[in-house]
Chain A
Amino acid sequence: MNEQLVGGVLDDGLPSLIAAAHELKSPLALVRQLSLMMESGNVSDIERQRMLRQISLTSERALRLTGDLTRSARLDDALFELEPINPQELCKDIVHELRPLFAAHGSDIRLAPRTHPLLLVANRDLLRRIIINFTDNALHYGGENGIVEIQMGALQSGQVIRVGVRDYGPALSSDMWRSLKAKLMQAPQSVHARPQSSGLGLYIASQFAEAMHGTIGVTRHRNGATFYVDVSASNQLSLL
């Protein structure tokens, strides 16, 4: 494991301070800019309302990251209860929770309809954090089309359930694709070593998936990408 991620400079087992600081800089810088702008008084009431909304939504996004970091750092200490979960219901809740954020960006998030129910085995909190992580990513990189869709389906003769977040952003170049695949496999590195992104969010998602005996991955499309998590299907559905 990358020494910058665990047992770094402080040897405290926490995720890399560099990667975390880098990821938090953008939302904090935005909140600061908007606050200073409002403080200057040179904004209309309508602008002020919009900026306040952006501040609260950006703060929530940053807080989600800090929550994920805390949870990630304590993965080894905790036993995560795995339970049968209906992913359609979980994702409905996520869509409901994130729709205001997407609306504020002029985007939309939707859940692909399914006729047959699915049941998987996972930790509700970790699965939720993974999917929200992917949707945050899709919102940021999803392009101008503005639609993000959560999809799910059964694989391997129904033994595995895949929950994916599809965006319709610009096509990924081959270089970006290789870099992205590497980020799914590796711990985040210093911003000096990899200038585009620390990949911290993806790494945290992969840790959460691993804690549930699952995996994450990404599929490239001509117009965007799907980030997905694969976890075991629950046998309980076959007993119903």
Chain B
Amino acid sequence: MKKQQSVLIVEDDEWLAEQQSRVLTKAGYITTISPHAMAAIDAVDDVQPDVIVLDMLLTGSTAFGLMHELQSYGDTGSIPIVLCTNLAADISMDDVRPYGVMRILDKTTMVPGDVVTAVRSVL
């Protein structure tokens, strides 16, 4: 039997995180939600996610701080990241690719299924 893949959602908007979790769960993924970067670092150790869906503007620490931390370690540095942000238009893929970002989703234009498509595409 195929192992269910795990997605860590790092999103400080509780209801948006719930919505992403809802969509990904319906698509067959196991999801964990972390509301901020510190919780996300703990969750990465605990659940060892296959993908991280990361909000760009996090409470307490920007996504860059978290991505930099993840890149510091060999095992976490290889986890693919899907950036999900209101600032997609201002972010260049070339700038964030070195941090493990493989897709950028624009929260203002995406449809619910886009997060599933993005996650699927990086696995």
The chain B residue sitting closest to A105, CB to CB, is B14
With A22-B86, A26-B13, A144-B35 in contact, do A33 and B62 touch (Cβ < 8 Å)? no
The chain B residue sitting closest to A35, CB to CB, is B112
A interface vs B, CB < 8 Å?
A: 22, 25-26, 28-30, 32-34, 36-37, 40, 42-43, 47, 51, 54, 58, 105, 140-141, 143-144, 169-170, 172-173, 176, 191-192, 195-197
Q: Is the CB of A47 within 8 A of B107?
A: no
Residue in B23, B90, B107 whose CB lies within 8 Å of A37 = B23
| Bound-complex Cα distance A169 to B86 (A) | 24
| Bound-complex Cα distance A26 to B55 (A) | 11
* A residues in contact with B50, CB < 8 Å: none
- The residues in B between 1 and 59 inclusive whose CB is less than 8 angstroms from any CB of A are 12-16, 19, 22-23, 26, 35-36, 38, 56-57, 59
Interface on chain B toward A: helix, strand, loop, or mixed SS? loop
| Bound-complex Cα distance A135 to B10 (A) | 23
| Bound-complex Cα distance A143 to B36 (A) | 9
With A37-B112, A196-B62 in contact, do A29 and B35 touch (Cβ < 8 Å)? no
Residue in B15, B90, B107 whose CB lies within 8 Å of A54 = B15
Q: Is the CB of B60 within 8 A of A173?
A: yes
